[in-house]
Amino acid sequence: MNISVAFTIVIWIFLLSGVISLYRVIAGPTSADRLIGLNIVSSQILAILVLFAARENLHVYLDVALVYDIFGFVGVLAITKYLSNKEVLK
């Protein structure tokens, strides 16, 4: 099996699991479920960017993935801070 085909298969698996995780973000019964689903989707997009960078041998996508991960982490912290002030997560 060609390595490019393997990367493509794994990218599609991450896309499929991202759609499934996105369902948890939309239909989660609690805010904590939505936050966890958002964190999972963010991690899957990060993995897709890294795999795409490795497949295409373009290092610029690794920089984009790093910035995306930083913004995703800060976003999750901001949402957690906002929800903890409202006492929704308790």
Q: How far apart are CA 68 and CA 76, in angstroms?
A: 12
Q: What are phi and psi of 59, to 5 degrees?
A: -75, -15
pLDDT, position 48: 92
pTM tops 0.75, yes or no? yes
The mean pLDDT value for 20-36 works out to 86
Please classify residue 84 by burial: count the beta carbons closer than 10 Å to its beta carbon, then call 0-12 exposed, 13-18 middle and 19+ buried.
exposed
For position 88, what pLDDT does the model report? 54
DSSP secondary structure letters along 35-90: HHHHHHHHHHHHHHHHHHHHHHT-THHHHHHHHHHHHHHHHHHHHHHHHHHHT---
Of the pLDDT bands very low, low, confident and very high (cuts 50, 70, 90), residue 75 is confident
Average pLDDT over residues 60-88: 84
